[in-house]
Amino acid sequence: MARIVVEEAEALLDREIPVLDKGFVRLVDYLGGDQRIVQAARVSYGAGTKSYRQDRALIHYLLKNEHTSPFEQVILTFHAKMPIFVARQWVRHRTARLNEISGRYSLMRDEFYLPDPEMVRYQSDSNKQARSDEALPRAEAERVIAEMDEDQRSVYAHYTGMIDAGVARELARANLPLSLYTEWYWQIDLHNLLRFLQLRLDSHAQYEIRVYAEAMAECARAVAPMAYEAFEEHVMGAVRFSRAECQALAAMLDGRAVGLEGRALTQFEGKLAAMRAAVGVEEAEELRSPE
C-alpha cells in the first residue's frame, strides 16, 4: 500500500511556526491521515474506501462514540523549542516518545523566555495555579521583565564561567533557570495528540503552553482535517455534565431550583455559558442561568 500523502500537511513540513519570543513548532513528519483512520476502522469487516461523505460520517461517529483506536494509526512527529517550565508541563502527557537536548553533552545557548508586558499579571484569587486577567501597570510589568532579564544574564554568565574553568557541563547546568529554552523531537499518535489539545487549548491552560497547542493544532488540522473537524464538533465544542449537573439542568428546564450552591453552582453556570458560546445565544435563550 502506498504512503498516504496529504497536500496540506506536505506544505507544512519543516516550516517553523513561531511561538513566544524565541520558540517554535515544526511538523517534521507524519504517517497517515483521515484515509488511514477509515481504513483502520473498516478493516474489521473488510469494506473498502467509501465516498468522502461516508468517510466523514464514519470519523464523526468514531470520535463522538470514543472509538479511539483508529486514530492511533496516525502519527505526527514535531520538533519544538520551548522554555523548560513549558516542557515540564508538556511532558506530563506520557503517551508520546521524545528526545530532548542534553546539557550534559551540549553547551546550553543563551536563550531565555521573557514575557510580553501584557502577560505579566496578578495572581488569580479564584485559581491557585493561574494568573488573573488583570495585568500589572505597564511600568511595573516592564520593571519585572527587566529584573528577569538581569537575573538570566547573571546566571548564564556564571554558567559559562564554570564551563570555561573546566567544570563538568552536567554540573554547571544545575543553576540554569526554568526560563531557559530547550528543544526536543516529540512523536505522538493522533488520538493522544487530540487529548493533549483538549487540555492545553482550554482557556484555563497556562498561556505559554496554550500557544504551543495552537501551533500543533494547525498541524493536526493539516494532517487529518476531517478528524480535526470531528474533534472540534464533539470535544472542543461539547460540554460534559456530571449526574448532579444533569439533575440541575432538568430542574432548570422544569422551572425548579437547581439545587446547587457554592463552587458547584459556579462550575455549572460556567458550563451553561460555554453552551451558549458553542450554539449561539439566540439558540439557547431557553437555557437561562439559574436564579
SS3 for 262-279 is: HHHHHHHHHHHHHHHHHH
**Distance of alpha carbon 150 from alpha carbon 55, whole angstroms:** 56
Quote the DSSP letter at residue 108: P
Please list, in sequence order, all residues whose beta carbon lies within 8 angstroms of the beta carbon of residue 191, skipping any fewer than 6 positions away. 68, 69, 71, 72
pLDDT of residue 51: 80
**For residue 287, what pLDDT is reported?**
54
The one-character DSSP state at 112 is: B
CATH topology of domain 7-104+181-236: Gyrase A; domain 2 (3.30.1360)
Spatial separation of the C-alpha atoms in residues 289 and 280, rounded to whole Å: 15
Helix (H/G/I), strand (E/B), else coil: 230: helix
pLDDT for res 135: 95
Q: What are phi and psi of 185, to 5 degrees?
A: -100, 130
| Owner of C-alpha cell 521583565 | 145
Per-residue pLDDT of the chain (291 residues; tens, 9 = 90+): 678 999 999 999 999 999 999 999 999 999 999 999 999 998 865 555 568 789 999 999 999 999 999 999 999 999 999 999 999 999 999 899 999 999 999 999 999 999 999 999 999 987 888 899 999 999 999 999 999 999 999 999 999 999 999 999 999 999 999 999 999 999 999 999 999 999 999 988 999 999 999 999 999 999 999 999 999 999 998 889 999 999 999 999 999 998 899 989 988 998 898 888 777 655 445 555 554
Active site residues: 200
DSSP 95: S
Does residue 107 contact residue 101 with C-beta atoms inside 8 Å?
no
- Long-range contact set of residues 210-214: C-beta below 8 Å, sequence gap at least 24: 211/19, 211/20, 212/19, 212/23, 212/25, 212/80, 212/82, 212/86, 212/90
